[in-house]
Chain A
Amino acid sequence: MNGLTFDIAHLLAGSLVLVSFMMLYQDRLFALINVFALHAVVLALSVAWQAYIQDAHHLYITAAIALVFKAIVIPVGLHRIIQRLGIHRDIETAVGIGPTMLAGIGLVTLSMVLMLRVTPEADPLAREDLAFALSIILLGLLVMVTRRNAVSQVVGFMSLENGLVLAATGAKGMPLVVEISVAFSILIAFIVIGVFLFRIRERFDSVDVGALDDYRGERR
């Protein structure tokens, strides 16, 4: 593998981590969803580049799925949900932006140290890819735990799935079947959680998951 293809793959995976960081400091829902759409676009580019350098044409389909569903369909759907619920003005981070960013940096460091340690004999591209993918997964989890709003938790969950897709495409020979199932599982999760959101809306007049706790009569 020549240096340039490697550098481009590296650049795309790195920018995916960067976009994950951008998600961390969005305190408006629309902005968060826009950043998620960007995340999906970068993922699609990254997967497409992998398809090109591995000469694996089925990965183009994966890239297309990522682009269509994750960068267009889901963000548009979430936009509509937010508008319908009227929560686009909510500020809903539970933890301050500064500590969250610091935690994110710590997580990226952790995943780099860990991955470089446990995979010394692997192919260098796969190795870097795995390290970035683990960072993205951990950052996605961080988004989920630092948000109160159910919509942003869904977004965190989907960015986590993006990390999984990156890891899967970085390793050569991942069958497409699994790819499609991953994509569809996300879609299904999105639909289910969307339904769940409307239920919450009907009962509690909010999509803040804290309302569930108020309903159960517990303090936070």
Chain B
Amino acid sequence: MISIVAFLLCGPAALLGTAILAAAVSRRASATSLVYGAALAISVAVLAIVAGHLAGNPGEVSAITLPLGLPWTGARFRLDGLSAFFLVVVNLGGAVTSLYGLGYGRHESQPHRVLPFYPAFLAGMNLVVLANDAFSFLLSWEFMSLASWALVMAHHRDEANRRAGYIYLVMASFGTLALLLAFGLLAGPAGTYAFDAMRTAHPGLLTAGAVLALMLLGAGSKAGLVPLHAWLPLAHPAAPSHVSALMSGIMTKVAVYGFIRVVFDLLGAPAWWSGVVVLLIGGVTAVLGILHALMEKDLKRLLAYSTIENIGVIFASLGLALAFKANAMPSAAALAFTAALFHVLNHSFFKSLLFFGAGAVLTATGERDMEKLGGLIHRMPVTSFVFLVGCVSIAALPPFNGFASEWLVFQAILQSPELPQWGLKVIVPAVGGMLALAAALAAACFVKAFGITFLGRARSAVVGQAREVDRPSLAAMAVLAVFCLLAGILPGFVIDGLSPVTLSLIGESMPVQTAQPWLSIVPIAESRSSYNGLLVFVFITISASLAAFVIHRFASHALRRGPAWGCGFADAVPAAQYTAVSFAQPIRRVFGGFAFRARETVEMPAPGALEPARLKVDIHDVAWETFYQPISGAIDFATERLNHLQFLTIRRYLTLVFLYLVILLLVLALWP
């Protein structure tokens, strides 16, 4: 009997094969359909295997050791509840993205720069979630990073993309370094790199703290935690749109997986303050991420910043789970942890959907700048409808899935008065406030994203010629929109599906939700709170249909056209509409001072001059200026000094080596 994980490993292997094949045939016309079709088929096959496994016995753990890699460790792979869940996230995203790629990829100007790396990227993500020793994990992680880097650099003729690629590469290496150190600490002096051995070794308090900090640096930089987020809004939009969807929707989740795997699984029992750190970082990330998103007028960058916000929500929820777990409150911990995983799934749905929508807009108009779009709802009705579904989901409005998971997060936050430590009692509600603020700002942000892009009138000529995109792209977006709705109205099934994962990592799971009457979800007790997405959906549908029926049946059928009020301008040019920047102005005025060092200046023309007055807005990324610039300055300074070492004589090089040897020997001689 071959174990199931061996079957699953055939998936990444086939994807790698596809990547090699793609490299060979990528210049042929049929290569695009071939590669995306193969990726779609493989992802669906892996999904089917995982689904069969979950339907059979979800708690079962299956492991395999392959004679690959380092000779004395081998490559270990393992499938447990957590990997199975993240495999579903990765391969569902991979399948839908490949479907989208079947259409979107045809518009790619240089397919040979995308096709070989796309399946490799998918394979890397699959391998990361299956890896069961530090060596295979890091290797797959780095493979995933490099493949996505190659995809970011697909359009490398653009200066901005090259810069994004460079920053991404630096941050990715930094993250891997942090992970390497974290695993080194976990492995201990014996160097046991297998996860099974790490799980049984319980590190001391200091080591656990250091590992947590390193995981926050390593996985956090990949996921986009503030202040390590700076690369993300540069790199994610630089890739082709379906790859942006993969990076933002799926790869950040793989980073979350890495964090959960180490902090919840390998590290053993957490200390209560570890929850505080993760909570605070999550809260700050959520608020800053969405504030930056509000300030953006580039659609894809807006989505990338919004990813940072959602990662903040997920990490805050994970922090909460840590705090509850440390205080032996397993049911509350299970609630917070389930909320985090549910949000992981949801975010992968709607962020992919929104990036697909942005890609469709980009295909149709060639524009990412919202200030040049507008009125696309007339030209691209289907795209605008599914994009609207994505916006409503991400803005956490019922009955869609965003609401269900964020509601669970807040239910977990409401458990905080039962925590014993005063620090947590104070901080958790404060973080709850931050998350509420982030949720409200997210709603504003996506009103802006949808309103400016799809409503109003066209702001540039190209938008007037926009045409609806091809069928595969629309199908991919429609599938995701249906998922968003289903997960929103039937959250009980998702929560029950997550219970084996929660059970294995927290020790308890949420009560069985599908047993509740009328498909409600009741996280704690009926008397405290319950939510019924299906009921809300039915109510909205019925009341909206009734209203529409009443209006069409009883209202006047006469069509009246009247002049629109143009604010006193005789000729209502499209430029007089609300813009993305003007929409965000109130929020910029409130938060701009401390969050962005924003400064508005008005340049008035001289009296009598005919040029227009201009309003200039300066926005700074505080994290960039506070953390990155000093570090890069220091590195530049140091390299400038060390550069002289390149030009020494042979004798001096020998002298350096000799002195170093003598110093090492001296240390050895003097060591107590």
Contact = CB atoms under 8 A, between A and B. Distances in A.
Contact of A209 (B651, B665, B669): B651
Contacts of B658: 141-142, 144-145
Contacts of A113: 669
Contacts of A213: 649
Contacts of A138: 661-662
Interface of A: 94, 107, 110-111, 113-114, 117-118, 138, 141-142, 144-145, 147-148, 153, 209-210, 212-213, 216, 218, 220
A118 B650 contact: no
Interface of B: 647, 649-651, 654-655, 658, 661-662, 665-666, 668-669
Given A141-B658, A142-B658, A147 B651 contact: yes
B649 A114 contact: no
B287 to A, nearest CB: 54
Given A110-B662, A145-B655, A220-B649, 15 more contacts: A94-B651, A110-B665, A110-B666, A111-B665, A114-B665, A114-B669, A138-B661, A141-B661, A144-B658, A145-B654, A147-B651, A153-B650, A209-B650, A209-B651, A218-B647
B144 to A, nearest CB: 42
A212 B662 CA distance: 27
Nearest to A219: B647
Contacts of B661: 138, 141
A153 B651 CA distance: 9
Contacts of B662: 107, 110, 138
Nearest to A112: B669
Contacts of A218: 647
In terms of DSSP, what is the predominant structure of the interface of chain A? helix
Question: What are the 6 closest A-B residue pairs judged by CB atoms, nearest first?
Answer: A114-B669, A145-B655, A218-B647, A145-B654, A141-B658, A213-B649
Nearest to A147: B651
Contacts of B655: 145
In terms of DSSP, what is the predominant structure of the interface of chain B? helix
Nearest to B668: A114
Contacts of B649: 209-210, 212-213, 220
A188 to B, nearest CB: 19
A147 B652 CA distance: 10
A130 to B, nearest CB: 13
A135 to B, nearest CB: 11
Contact of B650 (A107, A142, A212): A212
Most buried by B among A138, A141, A210: A141
B654 A110 contact: no
Nearest to A217: B647
Contacts of B654: 141, 144-145, 153
A17 to B, nearest CB: 16
6 contacts: A110-B669, A117-B669, A144-B651, A153-B650, A212-B650, A216-B647
Contacts of B665: 110-111, 114
Contacts of A220: 649
A54 B471 CA distance: 86
Given A107-B662, A110-B662, A145-B658, A118 B668 contact: yes
A145 B651 contact: yes
